[in-house]
Chains A and B, each alone.
Chain A
Amino acid sequence: MLKHLVRWRLGSQLLKGSATPVRYASESTSGGNLLTGIEETPKKIVNPFSQPSPALSNVAISETKEDREKRLKVLQLEADIAHQEGRRVPALDFFQDHHWEHVLSLPTKSARIKYFGYLWQIEMRKESEQRKKAQRAEDTERRKEEMRKEREENTHIIYGLGHTSMFLRIYDTTMNHFQNNRLTRAMQFAPKIVLDCSYDEHMNNREASYAAKQLMLCFAENRLNDEPFDLHYCNAQMESTCMKGLQRYIPTMLNPEFPMNLHSKCFTELFPKENLVYLTPHCREDLVTYNPDDIYVVGAMVDTMNNEPLSLAKAKRLGLRMAKLPLDRYLQWGSGSGKSLTLNQMINIMLDLKKTGNWETALKHVPRRKVIENEFQQRREKSHWGTGTKARKLNIRIDHLLDFEEDRRQATSFATPQKVRQRREGMEFQLDTWATGKQKKKQRQN
């Protein structure tokens, strides 16, 4: 049984690509290049088989192909036996070709065990979803039956969503067109931000896929904003894992009419050096004010495993100005998960900084779990008269007024759109104590 499976998989394995299981080897393109796979030079720098003459590389590649076959068989046996022992390994028919490609590229047994554990989780999740789906299908059937019965009994028009209603449906594509229009205007007039995608060889596969997702979120959240930036993705190599992941998220990325700037050149060739400022957490100078003439560069990397100061090294080598966000000055950092920010959080911070010029509002995009919540307390104590007993009794809220000091139009005492992240303390309206002088013996909320 196992042997048949193995032979079937090997057929497709043989025709596919890369010669050596190098750690950062890119996934070979499937489909079109089945027959030319052998001649195709692998694109990663580290591959030793790409430089020499074709004759030598042919011999070398065919030899490692046999070894590769052998290793693949043994690894499949390993997975099978581990599954029989009841470890965290999915059944053998769950594995697909790209799974085996990745397994072959892992260096040690413990790395394989972790990867198998990850695949096992996916398998378990899929099974439980199938069970739940079956359950839900039953429930839906029942509900439909009821609705059908109700509709037959009722001779009038039925009002509501899905029946007759006055609301027009707004499709996703309409929203997308509206936002793309805003983006094209931004490309003409707005300040620029560069996302430097040259860090692929420093990330492993998982980090590269996380980076791809964050790049997609950058684009999306930039587009959503009222005044977007002109985003440029520089040093973007299309064959890298990160960019391929991004293409999976945004399939129309390479279309000429899509408002996304992708460059394979470096940003120093596109923009003059005096205007560039590299944002890196490893330098000493804080970014104090936002300058719209400067072009800020953010390194698009996920560096959970790597602690080397790569962005610092790059900025030093290119001789650019450097800055870091003034996180220590405005936030009290808690013990949770370190000072790293994701790319979309960075873009949000820069967008708010551009709009308001105020670091406090901009840094609201740092996740609250990383920050100690005392800042709310600090503000309370500072502006005591606005939050004291009298105000509470009269049910007037003025905390929000202190936020929008420059933008008076947005601030009213009445209906303010509540931000999701604001805590609502003391908002309960007590009719019997409203505007009375009596002091109820309640605990002061501290």
Chain B
Amino acid sequence: MYNLRLLRKVLPGGCHSHQRCMASQHKRRPQPGGLPPDRLEQLRSDLFERHQDLSGAEWTEVRQSLVDSYKHINGHNVDAVILGVCSGPHQLSLAKNYVEFLRSQGSAPNAATLGRLLRVYNAAYHERPLNSTEQAEILEICRTLQAEHETLDANSCEHVIHGLVATNDDWQSALPLLEMMKVTSAPTVAAYSALAEKSFNVESPEQELAWRLLEEMAAARKPPKCEVYLALLNRLASESDKLPAQLKRLMQFLERHEILVSQRVAERLQELAQQVPQLLEVSSTSLGPLGKCQACQKHLQPVAITDEQFRQLSECFLERVLIRRDVFQRSTPEEVARFKKYVEKTAPYDCVIDGLNVAYSTGTKKSPQQLAKLVATVVRHFRDQDKRVLVLGREHMRNWSKQAMHYVQSNASLFLTNNLSHDDPFLLYASMRSGQDTDFFSRDLMRSHAFHLGPELKPIFRRWQQQHQFSLVTQTQTGRIIVKEPVRHRLSAHEVAGTWHVPYCEAYTQHPTESFEVPANWLCLKLKKQTPAKVKTKT
């Protein structure tokens, strides 16, 4: 739907614009049937100056001019292109007029045109409720589309879902369409969000369907759009008896899937709190050092994982990350066996250091003496705190400065792998083998290892990593090192003694990147107990 997106950027105001700025935006080539922006402007100003309908001759002229001036617009796709241009909420009559014109010419509008018409209906629905004739028309179109083919393709399903969601009574029949979409592709965020939003607006009290859809979306790693949350909050504003239970459910949902809501939702939450101050209190806050909320002065929950989860993680780790399908790609069987034996002998440790990562953290072009000295400095840092350390490295480190390596060898355990092997999995394995208290020292983000663990273990691994990873920031002039300690509190929405702390981000993104930073904006949310007395006093 590149046309629509472009259009929404061009059209000044009047329709809700949530730009989807994907990282690959620069790679997406413009669709050949799409018009360049200036021509779009011109066409829009031509067509939309008159908000009423164009006559048959004028439509023919518009069609002809488009087909003639653009190489890739021909008789097959000009209809869909025109409907793509008239896709704003105020252009509904224009769009309908065009379809009438097509019918009057004798050629039935093709499936793509009808689909885009449904989108226009949906856009209009978000501005104002549709009257019954329009709803009847929508149903007629949906019926036509579904009658032609037994199974619709993903794009058409999405169009029909958007159309049905605009009606009052028939939106339930959009559900089997979602199943139909799964035949060919994973259902899109837009389709899920449209259905979820409608069901939050309309459905009976329990709203099970909406929650089920949200769970499905989160399981498929698709964050719900802001509109879904806004619909829920608007509903709760009017039905405040459901508020505590539903809001709690929402918070638990955000916690379980580690989703960050957008600023719009956060603002709406604050407005909601102002509307029903007896039930809810929300304030925007930030975090002090050691994870203390500035508003309520409570410390956030620590990020530790349970023993059971830790056991699961440590058992599967070596298998999934180091051995994988072919152990020779990362190491050799003899080396894995040798390392296991060594760890059995010298465990437990307080800290495991990634020697190469530490050595190169101030720059790659340093001489071997400087590199070795840096490793020795880090070992001394831990030695001064009376901790047992294991240093991992590669065989070529033997050729570095003898003095520094001697210091390392005498004050810590040292294990050197083959020059061709990956040493990161060994590092993580040694940390896990030593138990829950062992930290590790590396600047590596461990993204590939997190990926190879699989989707169930990845969040557990990330939490463990967050709690235990030290990293070297820099080395000062005097030779002292500055170390970044791990963030020991949780970074997603959670509850601390009855108060929920919810982080939020600036804007909605469809593919949120993994963030290793602490979120800057938090909401401090308190659900008050409902007072049984009928008199409510303002505080």
Contacts and interface: CB of A to CB of B under 8 A. Distances in A.
Contacts of A71: 183-184
Interface string A85-120: 111100100000000000000001100000000000
Interface centre among A73, A78, A87, A312 (most CB of B within 10 A): A87
Contact of B110 (A78, A84, A282, A310): A84
A386 B184 CA distance: 69
Interface string A63-89: 000000011011101101111111110
A81 B328 contact: no
Interface in A29-76: 70-71, 73-75
B495 interface: no
B31 A74 contact: no
Nearest to B183: A74
A71 B152 CA distance: 10
A316 interface: yes
Contacts, number: 93
Contact of B112 (A84, A88, A309): A84
Given A81-B156, A108-B185, A109-B185, A74 B151 contact: yes
Contacts of B186: 108-109
A84 B153 contact: no
B530 interface: no
A433 B258 CA distance: 79
B184 A87 contact: no
Contacts of B183: 70-71, 74
B153 A75 contact: yes
A113 to B, nearest CB: 10
Given A86-B80, A88-B31, A313 B151 contact: no
Nearest to A6: B149
A288 interface: no
A91 B72 CA distance: 12
A283 B31 CA distance: 45
Contacts of A312: 328-329, 420
A78 B154 contact: yes
B34 interface: yes
A87 B328 contact: no
A71 B156 CA distance: 15
A313 B32 CA distance: 45
Contacts of A73: 149-151
A199 B186 CA distance: 31
Contacts of B419: 284
Interface centre among A70, A77, A309 (most CB of B within 10 A): A77
A87 B31 contact: yes
B154 A109 contact: yes
Contact of A84 (B29, B77, B326): B77
A123 to B, nearest CB: 11
B33 interface: yes
B220 interface: no
Interface majority SS (helix, strand, loop, mixed), chain A:
helix
B151 A70 contact: yes
A84 B108 CA distance: 13
B250 to A, nearest CB: 30
A84 B111 contact: yes
A407 interface: no
A432 interface: no
Q: How large is the interface on A (under 10, 10 to 19, 20 to 34, 35 or more residues)?
A: 20 to 34
A314 B326 CA distance: 10
A86 B77 contact: yes
B184 A313 contact: no
Nearest to B35: A86
Interface string B105-120: 0000011110110000
Contacts of A310: 329
A317 interface: yes
Given A71-B183, A87-B31, A81 B329 contact: no
A316 B335 CA distance: 13
A150 interface: no
B72 A86 contact: yes
A317 B116 CA distance: 57
Contact of B153 (A77, A316, A317): A77
Contacts of B154: 78, 109
Contacts of B150: 73
A91 B34 CA distance: 17
Contacts of A313: 326, 328-329
Nearest to B448: A307
A80 B115 CA distance: 13
Nearest to B419: A284
A86 B184 contact: no
A280 to B, nearest CB: 10
Contacts of A152: none
Nearest to A86: B33
A308 interface: yes
A317 B328 contact: yes
Contact of B76 (A74, A78, A83, A316): A83
Interface in B98-135: 110-113, 115-116
A87 B329 CA distance: 42
B115 A81 contact: yes
Contact of A78 (B33, B113, B153): B153
A88 B32 contact: yes
Contacts of B138: none
Contact of A81 (B34, B79, B112, B420): B112
Given A78-B154, A312-B420, A84 B31 contact: no
Interface in B301-341: 326, 328-329, 332
A75 B332 contact: no
Interface string B50-77: 0000000000000000000000110011
B81 interface: yes
Contacts of A91: 76
A281 to B, nearest CB: 12
B185 A85 contact: no
B81 A316 contact: no
Nearest to B74: A86
A3 to B, nearest CB: 9
Given A70-B183, A74-B152, A108-B185, A81 B111 contact: yes
Nearest to B110: A84
Interface in A281-320: 282-284, 308-310, 312-314, 316-317
A86 B329 contact: no
Interface centre among B33, B79, B116 (most CB of A within 10 A): B33
A314 B325 CA distance: 13
A382 B488 CA distance: 60
Contact of A308 (B81, B156, B329): B329
A78 to B, nearest CB: 4
Contacts of A317: 328
Contacts of B113: 84
A4 to B, nearest CB: 14
27 contacts: A71-B184, A73-B150, A73-B151, A74-B184, A77-B149, A78-B184, A81-B110, A81-B112, A81-B115, A81-B153, A81-B155, A82-B155, A84-B77, A84-B112, A85-B31, A85-B33, A85-B81, A85-B116, A86-B33, A86-B34, A87-B32, A87-B33, A91-B76, A282-B420, A284-B420, A312-B328, A313-B326
Given A81-B155, A310-B329, A317-B328, 9 more contacts: A71-B184, A74-B151, A74-B153, A81-B111, A84-B79, A84-B113, A85-B112, A86-B81, A282-B420
Interface of B: 29, 31-34, 72-73, 76-77, 79-81, 84, 110-113, 115-116, 149-156, 183-186, 326, 328-329, 332, 419-420
